[in-house]
Amino acid sequence: MAQIIDGNRVRDEIKEELKPRIARLAQRKRVPGLAVVLVGHNPASEVYVRSKMKTCHELGMCSENITPPDSITTEELLAIVNQLNEREEVDGILVQLPLPKQVDSKRILQAIAPEKDVDGFHPFNVGCLVTGVPAPRPCTPAGIIELLKRYNIPIFGKRAVMVGRSDIVGKPTALMLMQEHATVTICHSKTTELASICRQADILAVAIGRPALLTGEYIKPGATVIDVGVNSLTNREDVSRIFRNSSERLAAFDRKGSVLVGDLDPIDVAEKSSSYTPVPGGVGPLTIAMLMVNTVESAERRLGVC
């Protein structure tokens, strides 16, 4: 039977490990500070930001939520970022994406001071990732590596396939797997013979945003499968088809009106893999956990407390 890689358990472990580090900072200097800029009223972003604020509070960190209107201009948002760059008590700055269409997202992300870029998106930090220099790493990819290591899943010398080439997940995950000495192939929507390539993977990671798109024919028997996708099913027939008429999932759909599923067929993954991340409860919880790690590490570097 396949092993379930429990992201909630690993998240809780990381949070407990951070508490003494935060306490040491508080005794010597001050607690770490995270500033989150949330533009407008995107419901999904608001939920995500609330989770970040809640986690900061649980850990005893300072947090600040800045909420400019969705009519803000690029220049006005740049001014907010520059003010946060100057504030000594702010160790981490996160501008929640997506931004309104009139805002130049690249200019905003590049304006964040690299040492405060706890999302790991600044070109300087991306360059550090490519060259193996210590710097903030993108949170979701860092969480994937953390899951593999804490479940003692070998990476060294293994064949890894990353399906998805986004700057936020696909590319940095591939780079981090290479730094752990895996042999990595990156696939995407234009890849030919995708299934045959995926079947070569000892570690198969998928982040394409298409519900249950990859089925059992893409999975090498005994592979470790990392499903980064989080897709909401709002059609009961889709839930019935994907979850093979599961009474539990159908009952959940009837209660909530939706059910979450990853980018891989959940039944096939459980049957063919040796270990896998469920959706929800797999990779997702690690994203905020690694954001907290990046913020604490930023505070330690800036305050000279290690």
Walk along the chain (306 residues) in steps of 10 and give the mean pLDDT of each run: 96 98 95 97 88 96 96 98 98 95 96 97 96 96 98 98 97 98 97 98 97 98 98 97 96 97 98 98 97 98 89
How far apart, in whole angstroms, are the C-alpha atoms of residue 84 and residue 64? 11
Q: Please give the pLDDT value at position 67.
A: 96
CATH of domain 139-284: 3.40.50.720
Q: Please give the pLDDT value at position 1.
A: 82
Q: Which residue among 91, 117, 119, 263 is the active-site one?
A: 119
Q: Which residue among 91, 96, 263, 265 is the active-site one?
A: 96
List the beta bridge partners of residue 161: 185, 204
Q: Please give the pLDDT value at position 93.
A: 98
For residue 96, indicate whether it is catalytic. yes
Within the chain, all domains assigned CATH 3.40.50.720 are found at: 139-284
How far apart, in whole angstroms, are the C-alpha atoms of residue 84 and residue 135? 19
Report residue 144 CA to chain centroid gap: 8
Q: Which residues contact 99 (CB under 8 A, 6 or more apart)?
A: 39, 77, 105, 108
For residue 104, indicate whether it is catalytic. no
Superfamily (CATH H level) for 29-115: Leucine Dehydrogenase, chain A, domain 1 (3.40.50.10860)
Within the chain, all domains assigned CATH 3.40.50.10860 are found at: 29-115
Q: Which residue among 52, 171, 220, 272 is the active-site one?
A: 52
For residue 119, indicate whether it is catalytic. yes
How far are the Cα atoms of 127, 171, 188, 197, 221 from residue 192, in angstroms, in the given order?
Answer: 29, 19, 9, 9, 21
3 state SS of 42: coil
